[in-house]
Structure 1
């Protein structure tokens, strides 16, 4: 068992300075070396730039800030952090329940490819948001000041294409979208690189799952309850599923068994975060271990989040944070099974 830590970053500034300050914070983080090993030395910068200009141009300023904060070229920063033309990712879990009242999920992967930062950011020209960083700019999951919450779920690399990573797509949605419908529309337009599910909800309790491939998008909607894991459930997209998805099916069956449980927000959070839960995974060597639990209450407009086997749960009112009330927490501490 080893100690596992996540920093809590709180930045209110221009997009450039958010990038610059993030760069200074992560400059000695082992994730930089890990990203150098799994990203391409160069990408087609102009192609990446055109996508950013279409969906979230301010993130180009954040990318510039990252490059200057780290003292590297803009092209190098784009390769490391833009989420464009990223090489194939294997494994990766993630389980989510969405109801009209709340959104609760676990992110499952390996600690060596985990940024280890939870960021609350308030840019000058985009919505404020809170979420777990992935490739610095991207987010595993998060919620914005408009009450839009979402997360990613890897499905497969079928029809893999040069495009945008789901974690960058999530950040673009958090920064610019006000409703679930807005998020769905953006996901229909973004060029996706691989097959992913996106679980989405908003402050009106409007919930949806977008099942996305590089060539086709389908949307699942129900008024009160949805589950989302690591396989497509829409029949026409099922040929894109991995052959070995028994674990995903098993987790989905368990999530569906909770449909009529009437669990409160905190009770459902505990269903995900406790290490005894069928949703808490420990196969970290195979990139399949639970790293954090993230949730949002549509009614109370509050975030609950914790990391693997951590006793500390952060309770965040994002609106209060936007008004200038900083969190006292600077890090989250948990444990990872070796």
Structure 2
């Protein structure tokens, strides 16, 4: 058993300032050292810039801030943190349930590949967002000031190619898209590196799963209830699933039974983080995130912890910072790197 801590990062200002402060916090930590082990020494920065300018140009400023904060060249920061041309990552399970009232999900990953940061940021030229960092600039999932919530779910590396990581895609849609429809359109245009599901929802029960591969994107819709795990369901994409996706199917089936109980947000949130649940891995870190559309309420917690971060996100967007600085939990840790 070992303790696990997530830092809470709150920042308002320009994208450059956001990156500068985060870069200073990350400088000398395990995070850049970890990504030095799994990223390429150099990437095609001209192509990276072209993609970013098309979808989220402000993130180029944030990368510049990260570089200055870490006191490294911009090209090195781009290779480490941009989420472009990243070698095939190790991935585990992510499960989500979307209703007309809330979004809830948990996900499991080696703790060594977590940034251990939960960020609430309000850039000058992008939407305010809240979510867990991955590769500094990217996000596992999150919500923006318009109530658009989204998360990623690894499917496979079938057809893996040079492109944008799913966690960078999540960041781009949260920063720049106000609606599910806008996010769908962006995900159809982003050059995806691998096969991922993107679960997304907004107030009014508009829930979708975008099933995205490097060469095809399909969308699943549902009016009031939708589930998402780690396999494609569209017939045109099922051949891209991993051979061993039975656990993903089992979790999907199990979540269907949860939906039949018509639980409120807090009940579903507690179920998703219950260590006795089939959705929980004991030997990986488990993070649970939920967002309620009507009251703009974020609930999040980390593995085996009684501490729940409860945020009224509209209040935060209006300028009221939260007092918490960290989340703490416990994990039975197994070495992955």
TM-score by length of 2: 0.97
2:8 maps to which residue? 8
1:78 deviates by 0.2
Contact 1:272 1:280 in 2 (8 A): yes
2:134 maps to which residue? 134
Aligned to 1:296, which of 269, 288, 291? 291
Secondary structure of residue in 2 paired with 1:142: strand
Secondary structure of residue in 2 paired with 1:127: coil
Task: Quote the Cα distance in structure 2 between the aligned partners of 1:35 and 1:13.
Answer: 26
Contact 1:147 1:298 in 2 (8 A): yes
The yes-or-no answer on 1:115 pairing with 2:115 is yes
Task: Quote the Cα distance in structure 1 between the aligned partners of 2:288 and 2:317.
Answer: 22
Contact 2:280 2:286 in 1 (8 A): no
1:154 maps to which residue? 154
Secondary structure of residue in 2 paired with 1:87: coil
Contact 1:203 1:301 in 2 (8 A): no
Secondary structure of residue in 2 paired with 1:209: strand
Q: Which moved more, 1:82-91 or 1:54-63?
A: 82-91
1:278 deviates by 1.1
Contact 1:110 1:291 in 2 (8 A): no
Secondary structure of residue in 1 paired with 2:215: coil
Equivalenced residues, count:
333
2:314 maps to which residue? 319
Task: Quote the Cα distance in structure 1 between the aligned partners of 2:42 and 2:150.
Answer: 30
1:268 maps to which residue? 268
CA deviation profile, 1:236-294 (whole Å, cap 9, x unmatched): 110000001111111111011122111011000011011111111123xxxxx243101
2:82 maps to which residue? 82
Secondary structure of residue in 2 paired with 1:303: strand
Alignment of 1:59-70 (within 5 A): 59-70=59-70
Task: Quote the Cα distance in structure 2 between the aligned partners of 1:237 and 1:278.
Answer: 26
The yes-or-no answer on 1:34 pairing with 2:34 is yes
Q: Point out where structure 1 has 5 or more consecutive residues left out of the alignment.
A: 284-288
Secondary structure of residue in 2 paired with 1:103: strand
1:324 deviates by 1.7
CA deviation profile, 1:3-45 (whole Å, cap 9, x unmatched): 1000000000100000000001111221211100000000000
Contact 2:120 2:128 in 1 (8 A): yes
Secondary structure of residue in 2 paired with 1:126: coil
2:17 maps to which residue? 17
Task: Quote the Cα distance in structure 2 between the aligned partners of 1:87 and 1:282.
Answer: 27
Task: Quote the Cα distance in structure 1 between the aligned partners of 2:20 and 2:111.
Answer: 24
Task: Quote the Cα distance in structure 1 between the aligned partners of 2:27 and 2:62.
Answer: 15
Contact 2:290 2:298 in 1 (8 A): yes
1:90 deviates by 2.9
Contact 1:103 1:201 in 2 (8 A): yes
1:222 deviates by 0.8
Task: Quote the Cα distance in structure 2 between the aligned partners of 1:244 and 1:32.
Answer: 32
2:181 maps to which residue? 181
State the Cα RMSD in Å. Answer: 0.8
Contact 1:106 1:290 in 2 (8 A): no
1:286 maps to which residue? none
1:210 maps to which residue? 210
Contact 1:5 1:333 in 2 (8 A): yes
1:194 maps to which residue? 194
Task: Quote the Cα distance in structure 2 between the aligned partners of 1:91 and 1:274.
Answer: 21
Q: Which runs of 4+ in 1 moved over 4 A?
A: none
1:299 deviates by 1.5
Task: Quote the Cα distance in structure 2 between the aligned partners of 1:117 and 1:290.
Answer: 13
Task: Quote the Cα distance in structure 2 between the aligned partners of 1:28 and 1:295.
Answer: 32
Contact 1:146 1:203 in 2 (8 A): no
